[in-house]
Amino acid sequence: MARHDWRGSQSDFYLDTMSTHKVIMEEKTRTCSGMTTRILFAVFLLFSGQRFLFAGDDEKWNTQKSEHFIVYYKEVKEDFVRKTVENAEEYYKSIAEELGFTRYNFWRWDNRAKIYIYNNAEDYQEKTGKPSWSGGVASYHEKAIETYPWAQGFFQSLLPHELGHIIFREFIGIQNNAPIWLDEGVAMYQEKFRRKDIKKKLLKAIEERKLIPLTKLSEINIMFVKDTEVVDLYYTEAISVVEYLITKFGRDNFVRLCKALKERKNFDQAIEESYRVFKNLEELDKGWLRYVKE
C-alpha cells in the first residue's frame, strides 16, 4: 500500500512512526506569494500490511457521487463538497488528457476514487491519527484521499498533486520502481502555478553550476536532503523534465514510456523504447538541457 501524506506547513523532518515501511521520499516545496513564503511538505510512503485508516467505517457518511469520484463527508458545507466534486472531475479530465491516459478510462462506478472530507482539522486528526501539520493523506492502493476543509492550497495544490500521483501510479502500477522524480514531476506538474519561472530557476542553477544531472537525481533520496535549495531544485528539475517529455514529444510517447514502465522495464530501456531519440537517461539529460537553454 502506498500512502502520501500532505503537510501544510513547517519544514522539519517527519517519519510516519505508525508503519513498518520504507520511506521513499519527502517533499518540501516553496510557494511565494507576496511577502509570505509557505513551505508545503509531503511524505510519500510505501509500506504494506497496514490498512488505510478511513474515517471509521462505523460512522455515517453523506455521499456525493460523480462519474469518477465518490465524496464522503459529514458536517461539511455543501458548497465545499460541490466545489470538491467539480474540481476533482476537472482535474481528472485535465490530468488524464495531459498525460495521454484518456483512452484508459479505468475509474468508473465501482472503481471510482474516494475523497473523505472530515469536519475539520481536529476531526481529521482524531480519526486518522495524523499529526497537526498534516493537511491530507492519499492512498494509491485504496485510491482515496482523506482531508478536511482547509482553504489554503486545497484546490490549487493538494487536490491536483495527489490526483496526479494516484492517476500516474494507477497506470504504471503501485509497486513500481519508476524514478521517484518522475512520479513527483508528474504530480507537481499538475499544480499549474508551479510551471511558472521554471526556466529562470534552471538557468540560474546552470549558471551557478548547481544543476543536478538526471542520473544523480535518480539516486537522490530526497527524504534525507535538508538543504531546501537542493530540494527546490530537485522538484523544479522534475517538473521541467516532465514538461519536456510531454510538450516536446507529445502524449503518445509519454504513454508509451508509462506502458514500458508498467511492464517493469528499467528506465533506460523504457525511455529508449518509447522516445527512440534517447538511448538512456544521459541522453535524455542532454536533450533536456538543450531544451532548458533554448
Binding-site ranges for Zn ion (CB under 5 A):
187
Shortest Cβ 185–Zn ion spacing (Å): 10
Nearer to Zn ion, 96 or 166 (CB): 166
With contact defined as beta carbons under 8 Å apart, do 131 and 125 qualify?
Answer: yes
Shortest Cβ 138–Zn ion spacing (Å): 9
What cell does 222 get? 530526497
Shortest Cβ 103–Zn ion spacing (Å): 25
Pairing of strands 144-147, 113-117: parallel
Nearer to Zn ion, 76 or 166 (CB): 166
Shortest Cβ 1–Zn ion spacing (Å): 16
Which residue lies nearest Zn ion, judged by its C-beta?
187
Shortest Cβ 68–Zn ion spacing (Å): 20
Print burial letters for 20-40: b (CB count within 10 Å at least 16), e (below 16). ebebbbbbbbebeeeeeeebb
Nearer to Zn ion, 187 or 239 (CB): 187
What are the strands, taking DSSP E only, across the chain?
2-7, 21-33, 36-47, 62-65, 69-73, 113-117, 134-139, 144-147
Nearer to Zn ion, 6 or 101 (CB): 6
Nearer to Zn ion, 188 or 202 (CB): 188
With contact defined as beta carbons under 8 Å apart, do 147 and 136 qualify?
Answer: yes
d(CA 271, CA 178): 11
What cell does 37 get? 513564503
